Amino acid sequence: MTLTLSENTTVILERRYLRKNKAGEIIETPEEMFRRVARTVASADALFDEKAGVDKTEEDFYRLLSGFRFLPNSPTLMNAGRRLGQLAACFVLPIEDSMESIFETLKYTAMIHKSGGGTGFSFSRIRPKNDVVLSTAGISSGPLSFMTVFDMATETVKQGGTRRGANMGILRVDHPDIESFIDCKINFDRLNNFNISVALTDKFMEALERGDDYELINSRTGLAVKRISASEVFDRIINSAWNSGEPGVIFIDRINKDNPTPLLGDIESTNPCGEQPLLPYESCTLGSINLSRMVNKGAVDFKRLKRTVHMAVHFLDNVIEINRYPLAQIEKMSKGNRKIGLGVMGFADMLIQLAVPYDSDEAVRHAEKVMAFIQDESKAASAQLGKKRGNFPNYKGSIYDNPRTPFMRNATTTTIAPTGTISLIAETSSGIEPIFAVAHARHVLDGKTLTQIHPLFFKTARNQGFYSDSLYDEITRSGSVQSIAAIPEPIRRIFVTSHDIPVQWHIRIQAAFQKYTDNAVSKTINFPNSARREDIKEAYVTAYQSGCKGVTIYRYGSRDKQVLNIGRDGKESSQIVPRPRPERTRGLTQRISTGCGNLYVTVNYDEQGTCEVFAQMGKTGGCASSQIEAAGRLTSLALRSGVKPDAIIKQLIGIRCPSPSWQNGKMVLSCPDAIAQVLKNLTDSDFTDAGTMAGICPECGDKLSHEEGCLVCHSCGFSKCS
C-alpha cells in the first residue's frame, strides 16, 4: 500500500525519520518506516506468548501508525528496528549533594544525550552557595554553578553532531539560592540548553495567600536559615516570566499526591517539557492519539477512540519491553514501574470539525469527556495486559494495590505531551493547543516560501462561497481571521488561533485535561505583548486553584531580538539597538578566492544566532582593506540588531567589481559577494544550533512558536525539546 502524503509530511520524514546510508541517501520509504516500527514493536508479543499472533499485531500497529490515528514519540519512529534502538524521549536523573554524585550524573547525562534523549534534574539537594564544605574547609559554589557545568556538557555533546540534548532544571522554592535561580535566564545569556522551573510547595502557596513569610531550608542540614516574603519571591518569578517566559512553575506537592508508587520515594523533577514527573532513573514512553481522526459525521466516534486507546496502550507497553536503555539503572526502574503516557494531538482540529469554539464552555466539556474516556479505557487496557502479562513489578504498595484493581500493567497510563513534530507529520494541530494560524508562510528546505491555509478553513470557505484570492492574501498577512468582516461571524468564532484566545480559556482547557490525566499537561499559556505582570500573576494563581500541576507562559515578543527602549519622552519605543558582542563566540573561517587575492572570512555565532562577520585579505591595504573591514563591521552590527542573515546575503550577493574570480566552479564577483557566499554556505550547513533562543528556527530560518512548553517550528518540524 502506497501512502498519500503531503509535501510537508514527506519533507519532515525525509529530513528526520527515514533511514539513510553512509552517503546520506534515503534508503527507506514512509511505508517502510511505519512497517519497520510496527514489526519491531509487535515482536515484543512473542516474549510473553510464543503462540502470540505477532503478524496480526504488526498489521494492527501498521494501520494505526500509517492511518495517523496514533503516533509514538519521535525516538520510537526514528530508532525502532535500527542499531541504536533507544526509543524513549526523556529521563530523570538524581543529583545528590556530593561531587561524586554530581559528576556521575553528568556522565550519565552525556550518555543519554548521545542516545538522543533529554534529561530532567532537581538541583535542590545541592547545598547553597557559600555554605561550608566539610571535607576541604572551603565553601560551596551552589547549584547554579553545577547547572552551568551541565549546560556546557550538553553543548559539547550537541557539537558532536547528535540530536539536540534538552534539559529541565528544577529548584525548590524553599532552597536558599532560589532568588538567583529565578533570575538566571532573564537575559538569555546562559543556560540555554535548559528549561527551568521552580518547584512551588503547598506551604509556599499558603504563605502567598496569607501574605506571610516562609522558610528557606539548607538542603545540607535540613534546618531553616531565614524567612523571606512569599509575595516578593512570587513577584520575582512573575517578573522573570514576563521578561523571558521562564521560569515555569510546577506544583510539587500536588505532583507527589498523585505519585503512584510512594514507597519508592518522592518525585522531585520532570522531563524537559514538564509534563512527565518521574522518579530518579525513570524514562518516558509517550505517544499521542490524533483526535482529529476520531470525528465521524459531526460527532466524536467513541467506538473508534476505544479501539485506538487499547491498541496504543498495547503498543506503548511493548515499547518498554524492547527498548535498549542507555543505563542499567534506567532499565530496572522503567521496567519496574512501566509508566506510559498516552496523550492527544489534534484537539483544536477536533473542535473545528464539531463546530465548537476553543474558548467556550462547550469546548471544556468536550475536553473533560474525551480525556475521561481515554483515562478510563487506558486503565482498562492496562488491566487487561496486567492479567495476561503480570502487574508492573512495583505494584505492591502502589496506589493500585487494593481489591478493586487486582491487575494493572502500568503505573501511569496518561500524559499530555508535546507533539510538535509528530503533529506536523499527521497534519493536525499540536497537542491540546489552539491552531497556530489559519494561514501562514512555510519555508521549505530549498529556500522557497510557500503559504499554507488551514484545510478545514479552506473547505468551509469554499463550501459556503466566501473564499477569494484577496481573502487568502488578507488572512496570510496576520494568520488570524478575527478582524475580517467578509468571513461570517460563526466561522470566525470557530477558527480562533492561540493569540485570539483570552488567557483564562487556555487555563480552563489545561485544567480540564489535567483532571483526567495521571501525569501532567504540556501547554503554553499565551499572552499578548501588552500583558501586564499582574495578568501573569493572576494566571499562575488561577492555574494552581484549578488543579493544574504546572504552568508555562509566554508573552508574545518577549524573546525577540528587537529591544524596547525608553525614549526621551519616557515612553517605550521600538528602536532597534544591537545587543552587545558576546564575550565568547564559536565560528568558522573560510578561504575564498577573489580577483584581488585570497579573502579569509570568519563567521561567528552564539546561542542567540549568527552575531559577527569579519574578513581579511592577505597582502592588501589602503582603500580595499578599509572597505572589507567596513563591510564586516556593518554586517556584524546588523546581525546583532536582529537582521536575518538571509536579508544581509540578499543585499551583498551579486555585487560586482572589475576583477571577478572563480572558485570550485562558481564565480566570485567581488569581496562583498565573497562574504555573502561564505555567510550563506555556513548559515545553511554549519550553524544549525544558532538562533533558537532568539526565536529563529536554526534549520529553515522561520519564526519559532512557543507551544506545549517548548519551541517548535511549523515550517520544517524542528523542536528544541527533541
pLDDT at position 156 is 81
pLDDT at position 696 is 64
Is residue 220 assigned to a domain?
yes
pLDDT digits (tens, 9 = 90+) for 406-457: 999 999 999 999 998 899 999 999 999 999 889 876 655 445 555 678 999 9
Range of the domain at 670: 586-694
Is residue 561 assigned to a domain?
no
User: Average pLDDT of 461-486?
Assistant: 88
The three grid cell numbers given for residue 117, joined into one nine-digit string: 534523549
User: Do 65 and 156 belong together in one domain?
Assistant: no
Q: Is the pLDDT of residue 343 over 70?
A: yes
User: Do 224 and 314 belong together in one domain?
Assistant: no
How much is the mean pLDDT over the chain?
A: 88
Residues 104 and 280: their CA atoms lie apart, in Å, by: 13
pLDDT at position 114 is 87
Is residue 37 assigned to a domain?
yes
User: Do 250 and 108 belong together in one domain?
Assistant: yes
Q: Is the pLDDT of residue 487 over 50?
A: yes
Residues 286 and 474: their CA atoms lie apart, in Å, by: 39
Report how far apart, in Å, the C-alpha atoms of 137 and of each of 9, 281, 381, 556 are. Answer: 59, 32, 57, 48
Cα-Cα-Cα-Cα dihedral sign, residues 79, 81, 82, 87: positive
Is residue 527 assigned to a domain?
no
User: Do 297 and 405 belong together in one domain?
Assistant: yes
User: Average pLDDT of 613-631?
Assistant: 75
Is residue 579 assigned to a domain?
no
User: Do 98 and 229 belong together in one domain?
Assistant: yes
User: Do 74 and 97 belong together in one domain?
Assistant: no
Is residue 411 assigned to a domain?
yes
Q: Read off the pLDDT band of 31 (50, 70, 90).
A: very high
pLDDT digits (tens, 9 = 90+) for 172-181: 999 999 999 9
User: Do 70 and 202 belong together in one domain?
Assistant: no
Residue type, 464: Q
Residues 274 and 276: their CA atoms lie apart, in Å, by: 6
Residues in Cβ contact with 435 at an 8 Å cutoff, skipping those fewer than 6 apart: 348, 349, 352, 429, 454, 495, 496, 497, 498
User: Do 238 and 296 belong together in one domain?
Assistant: no
Residues in Cβ contact with 32 at an 8 Å cutoff, skipping those fewer than 6 apart: none
User: Do 233 and 329 belong together in one domain?
Assistant: no
User: Average pLDDT of 82-100?
Assistant: 95
Cα-Cα-Cα-Cα dihedral sign, residues 533, 537, 538, 543: positive
Residue type, 170: I
DSSP string, 434-502: PBS-SEEEEE-TTS-EEEEE-HHHHHHHHHHT---HHHHHHHHHHS--TT-TTS-HHHHHHS-BTTTS-
What burial class does residue 183 get, using C-beta atoms within 10 Å of its C-beta: 0-12 exposed, 13-18 middle, 19+ buried?
middle
> Total domain count for the chain?
3
Percentage of the chain with pLDDT > 70? 90
pLDDT at position 236 is 97
Q: Is the pLDDT of residue 675 over 50?
A: yes
Is residue 452 assigned to a domain?
no
Domain stop point among 270, 298, 328: 270
DSSP string, 556-622: TTTTSSPPPEE-TTSSEE----PPPPPS--EEEEEEEEETTEEEEEEEEEETTEEEEEEEEESS--H
Q: Is the pLDDT of residue 561 over 90?
A: no
User: Do 312 and 245 belong together in one domain?
Assistant: no
Domain stop point among 270, 292, 313: 270
Q: Is the pLDDT of residue 159 over 50?
A: no
CATH of the domain at 297: 3.20.70.20
Is residue 464 assigned to a domain?
no
Domain stop point among 401, 425, 449: 425
pLDDT at position 653 is 87
pLDDT at position 569 is 35
Segment of 455-469, 471-485, 623-637 carrying the highest mean pLDDT: 455-469
User: Do 259 and 308 belong together in one domain?
Assistant: no
User: Do 100 and 246 belong together in one domain?
Assistant: yes
pLDDT digits (tens, 9 = 90+) for 491-540: 999 999 998 999 999 999 999 999 999 999 999 999 988 999 999 999 99
Catalytically active residues are 271, 273, 275
Q: Is the pLDDT of residue 301 over 60?
A: yes
Segment of 149-153, 189-193, 336-340, 457-461 carrying the highest mean pLDDT: 336-340
Residues in Cβ contact with 14 at an 8 Å cutoff, skipping those fewer than 6 apart: 26
Q: Read off the pLDDT band of 355 (50, 70, 90).
A: very high
